[in-house]
Chain A
Amino acid sequence: MSIASTSVIQIIPRTRRGVELLLLVIAIAVSVGAYVNIGITVQNAVPASTGYYAAGIGLLALIAHLALRYRAPYADPVLLPCAVLLNGLGVAMIHRIDLGLAIVAEAKGKVPKAPAAPQQITWTAVGIVLFLVVILVIRDHRRLQALTYTAGLVGLLLLVLPLIPGLGVNLNGARIWIRLAGMSFQPGEFAKICLVVFFAGYLVVKRDVLTLAGHRFLGLDLPRARDLGPIGIAWAVSLGVLVFESDLGSSLLFFGLFLFLLYVSTERAGWLIIGGLLFVGGAYFAYMTFGHVHRRVTDWLNPWAIDGGQVKLGLMGQAWGGILGRGLGQGHPEATLYANSDMIISSFAEELGLTGLIAILLVYTLIIERGLRTALGCRDIFGKLIATGLAMSFALQVFVIVGGVTGLIPLTGLATPFMALGGTSLVANWAIIALLLRISDQARRPQTPAAPVSDETIAMAVQKA
């Protein structure tokens, strides 16, 4: 027998929950470190609330970790620690901006606003509860395929909810919020998850038609005209979001998601070109026609023209931060409008510098990489598409908001995942992480080993055949 010289590596299915626990400990250490650091620099003492903060975030992370040990032992070990780190850092920065705003208010002799950090911790707890619900209730992501069209309908409803008079509110120029029982919600965040489920379920069924029918033109496989229906509808809806809700971010997110999933499921680059042209055309039309879209673009092209504009102050803060940053608690991120929500990335760039910002962006990249890795490892197409869609929604969202804050694209009101102040976004992101972990558990779990085949059974099988 001439077996090749290559050594065969044994595959031992590892749950890797121990590694996850270790990474969680480091993530919590970073978050608590940030909290203590802020206390030392701003208040000159280790804050008395450090114990509560550490216990709170530690307990929430531990609950999530134990739920994974119990219900999804083979889930990816990296996703949860990354999410905990971003959430913890976000809470620390929101706390830091609370302190900064309180100092400013005191100097002006005003009463400071209620701190936002406790509210964010409460929302983190709600997020972890939803995380547990998803992990414990959805035992197999393939069940979601039965809900394809329900999810699509719910997603569309959530998307247009802010347009309903009396329910939707105009905040900061974009109409993406609803006010219910005294609290604001951003239904688009949950619409995203529903639409990913819908797109995945729809494309699993339709991808063969979309792939096989068509003709070649200039070296590209172009789809048939009648198959353009779905992409046309997606385009129209996303343009509607842009025009009526004045939200370039959601519009880009929604259309980009559909386009990515279409491309991934059909493997045809023609869709990307058609979609890209459609989006550019639509965006240009909206820019020429609608005043609010036009204003966003002019603000982006010339941020220095606006006195006290948030992009301008954000860019100045980032420049002041430089390579190593001012140090936590030593900058003035609170001077920027929405420093703890839309502009939180710029607050981090100011205090942690480029070095810290790159680390944060790398953590985002790692979450996206693990999502795509889960898609690669997943055995069924529906799961592959959902994991790809969730990872891409994360990627697009980070791109849109970080691009807006750093002046690459016009700024829009998408939330920085896990970090920005805002309950809906935080809770929705925990649900996304839970779904990704559920799919990765399925993907990494060893298949139930078939009974070893002995020579006799093979012989019998051959005889039968």
Chain B
Amino acid sequence: MSELTLTLIKLGFLALLWMFVLAVLSVIRSDLFGAKVDSRAAAAVVPQNSRTPKPSKPVKKRKGLPGSVTIADGPQAGVGASLGDEPVIIGRGSDCQIRLDDDYSSTRHARLFLSEGQWWVEDLGSTNGTYLDGQRVTRPVPAEIGGSIRIGRTTLNIAK
């Protein structure tokens, strides 16, 4: 066997080995690069410590309280919870009222709760953030009818 053939076989085998590694990497690339992130989200990285709603927050025109929150699209569309008095926790965990089937949501991702005659959305320190009408939720913000909450890849609508 000539030297050249042996070298070609050697390089060919290394190429084959690397082809496997690259094939695996292409399968899992979404893990490496993550989901597309809203550019505003990157700008709005604010430390979030305020756990309680600020009473000074002016309450805008109220058209009655929201009555339900429902997943808007995807295979889980229609799944939701009614907003009574109890807080509603949204996330992937089994103890959540709304259990999302979304790899990009955290186990306990966000919370909706009633305070001062108003429903609020609060992010529970999630990895990928919670968005209310496109704005990142960095502290509890009022949730109003017609608003939409985005968690990971899932959108939830707030309705009467």
Contacts and interface: CB of A to CB of B under 8 A. Distances in A.
Contacts of B72: 8
A353 B99 CA distance: 49
Contact of A29 (B16, B24, B82): B16
B107 interface: yes
Given A6-B38, A6-B134, A44 B1 contact: yes
A326 B13 CA distance: 12
B116 interface: no
A330 B6 contact: yes
A172 interface: no
B42 interface: no
Contacts of B133: 2-4
A248 to B, nearest CB: 31
Interface residues of A, number: 64
Given A4-B148, A40-B9, A452 B78 contact: yes
Contacts of A139: none
B55 interface: no
B23 A26 contact: yes
B45 interface: no
Given A4-B131, A355-B14, A379-B93, A458 B76 contact: no
A453 B70 contact: yes
Interface string A1-23: 11111101111110010010011
Given A41-B9, A465-B85, A1 B17 contact: no
Interface string A246-282: 0000000000000000000000000000000000000
A352 interface: yes
Interface in A423-465: 446-447, 449-450, 452-454, 458-459, 461-462, 465
A331 to B, nearest CB: 11
Tell which of A19, A327, A352, A465 has the most Cβ of chain B within 10 Å: A327
Contacts of A380: 94
A322 B150 CA distance: 52
B139 interface: no
Contacts of A19: 27
A29 B74 CA distance: 38
Tell which of B28, B35, B85, B155 has the most Cβ of chain A within 10 Å: B28
B101 A447 contact: yes
Given A37-B13, A453-B78, A3 B94 contact: no
Q: How large is the interface on B (under 10, 10 to 19, 20 to 34, 35 or more residues)?
A: 35 or more
Contact of B21 (A362, A373, A459): A362
A330 B11 CA distance: 13
Given A30-B20, A379-B94, A9 B153 contact: yes
Given A41-B1, A330-B6, A379-B94, A324 B14 contact: yes
A185 B104 CA distance: 43
A447 B77 CA distance: 13
A49 B18 CA distance: 26
B74 A10 contact: yes
A3 B132 CA distance: 9
Given A447-B99, A465-B84, 15 more contacts: A2-B134, A8-B72, A9-B35, A9-B153, A23-B20, A26-B19, A26-B20, A27-B20, A29-B16, A37-B9, A328-B13, A355-B14, A356-B14, A366-B28, A449-B101
